[in-house]
């Protein structure tokens, strides 16, 4: 029996749809598509009329960013968010939260979401945060011509220890992934980023939502980590081309989360933003980097001033590229380059 749209926990006209996927060794697998209320008058007269946005969350996360959804619909777009398998609304009892052994697994989730969106004849803008940004970057490269725009909010395009550290770790991680795929990994998340967001006041409440987004993140495993390193290595060696204009938004500075410091409320305490900015220039031919002073890892959950700058950056970029249909600059014919 086909699933039906029903009211979402966010209220305010948000709805959710359960997407049934192929089962795996842990049993039933689903993803969950959330849609925002449709833009006023269908977006008539707005610059993004005819655009569908599909948002994908980061690690240990799920969709709850109502303000972000409304920013897109105010521009005339239809907004959807996807809670991937084993995350948030899609997490089922007995499942290993967030666990996959390749990011290509999410192709099924995204395909099911796109079918449910019914986007035929409409342009597609992808938006991903952190691990979701890495996932969508890979997806867009594997599916050239499918996405018209890609917006990345602090995407995890490079490891926190940089390219040299990643290259040194990769053989060890790959060996463990082969022989001990679900072995113990050291806990590196001490909950400092969560504390920073609580200080700002940008996190939702509710016991169920806190279960979906634990303070110290989900446990990680060698096979999952190997999938992340493989995706980042693809970017580093120039094997990725997202084939559409991309906006990459990052804080202007990072902080190493060793102990709590008040400055963590105005810096990215998760990623090394300079390394990510360099990696971002390798994902396509037309990449814009937007640096947001005072932003945290999720730039749209920062203090009001940097958050406002983040929304202004997004709107300016979206309006500018919508005016030309988000078209890539034309390649010069061979012999004229």
CATH architecture of residue range(s) 12-322: 3-Layer(aba) Sandwich (3.40)
pLDDT digits 0-9 by tens, 190-199 = 889 999 999 9
**In what helix (H) or strand (E) does residue 283 lie, and over which residues does it extend?**
none
Question: Which secondary structure element, helix H or strand E, spans residue 274, and what is its range?
Answer: helix 273-280
Backbone angles phi, psi at 320, to 5 degrees: -65, -45
pLDDT, tens digit (0-9, with 9 covering 90-100), for 95-106? 999 999 999 999
The answer to whether 297 touches 254, Cβ cutoff 8 Å, is: no
Please give the model's pTM, rounded to 2 decimal places. 0.94
CA gap 44, 76 in Å, rounded? 7
What is the rounded distance in angstroms from the CA atom of residue 161 to the CA atom of residue 65? Answer: 29
Cα gap 207→194, rounded to integer Å: 15
Surface-to-core class of residue 61, CB atoms within 10 Å of its CB (0-12 exposed, 13-18 middle, 19+ buried): buried
Query: Is-contact 47 82, C-beta < 8 A?
Result: no
Retrieve residue 1's tokens: 């029996």
> Cα(24)–Cα(5) distance, rounded to whole angstroms?
25
Q: Measure CA of the first residue to CA of the last residue in the chain; give whole Å.
A: 55
Which strands sit side by side in the sheet containing 123-129, from one edge to the other?
6-7, 15-24, 27-35, 78-83, 51-56, 123-129, 149-153, 246-251, 287-292
Residuewise pLDDT in 10s, the chain (337 residues): 467 999 999 999 999 999 999 999 999 999 999 999 999 888 888 899 999 999 999 999 999 999 999 999 999 999 999 999 999 999 999 999 999 999 999 999 999 999 999 977 799 999 999 999 999 999 999 999 999 999 999 999 999 888 888 889 888 988 888 988 989 877 777 889 999 999 999 988 765 666 798 888 899 999 999 999 999 999 999 999 999 999 999 999 999 888 899 999 999 999 999 999 999 999 999 999 999 999 999 999 999 999 999 999 999 999 998 876 666 665 444 444 3
Q: What is the DSSP letter of 69?
A: H
């Amino acid at each position: 029996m086909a699933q039906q749209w029903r009211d979402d926990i966010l209220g305010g006209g948000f709805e959710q749809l359960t997407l049934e996927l192929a089962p795996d060794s842990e049993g039933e697998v689903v993803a969950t598509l959330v849609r925002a209320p449709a833009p006023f008058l269908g977006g008539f007269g707005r610059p993004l009329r005819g655009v569908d946005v599909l948002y994908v969350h980061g690690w240990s996360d799920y969709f709850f960013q109502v303000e972000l959804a409304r920013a897109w619909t105010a521009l005339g777009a239809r907004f959807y968010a996807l809670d991937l398998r084993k995350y948030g609304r899609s997490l089922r009892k007995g499942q290993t939260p967030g666990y996959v052994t390749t990011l290509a697994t999410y192709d099924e989730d995204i395909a099911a979401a796109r079918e449910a969106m019914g986007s035929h004849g409409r342009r597609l803008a992808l938006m991903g945060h952190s691990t979701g940004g890495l996932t969508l970057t890979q997806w867009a490269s594997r599916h050239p011509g499918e996405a018209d725009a890609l917006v990345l909010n602090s995407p995890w395009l490079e490891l926190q220890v940089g390219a040299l550290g990643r290259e040194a770790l990769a053989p060890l991680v790959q060996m463990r992934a082969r022989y001990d795929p679900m072995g113990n990994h050291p806990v590196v998340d001490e909950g400092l980023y969560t504390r920073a967001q609580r200080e700002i006041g940008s996190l939702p409440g509710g016991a169920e939502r806190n279960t979906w987004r634990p303070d110290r993140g989900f446990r990680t495993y060698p096979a999952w980590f190997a999938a992340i390193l493989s995706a980042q290595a693809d970017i580093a060696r120039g094997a990725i081309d997202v084939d559409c204009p991309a906006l990459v938004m990052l804080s202007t500075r990072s902080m190493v989360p060793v102990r709590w410091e008040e400055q963590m409320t105005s810096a990215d305490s998760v990623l090394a933003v300079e390394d990510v900015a360099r990696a971002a220039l390798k994902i396509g031919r037309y990449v814009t980097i937007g640096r947001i002073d005072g932003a945290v890892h999720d730039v749209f959950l920062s203090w009001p001033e940097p958050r406002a700058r983040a929304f202004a950056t997004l709107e300016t970029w979206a309006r500018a590229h919508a005016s030309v249909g988000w078209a890539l600059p034309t390649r010069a014919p061979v012999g004229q380059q």
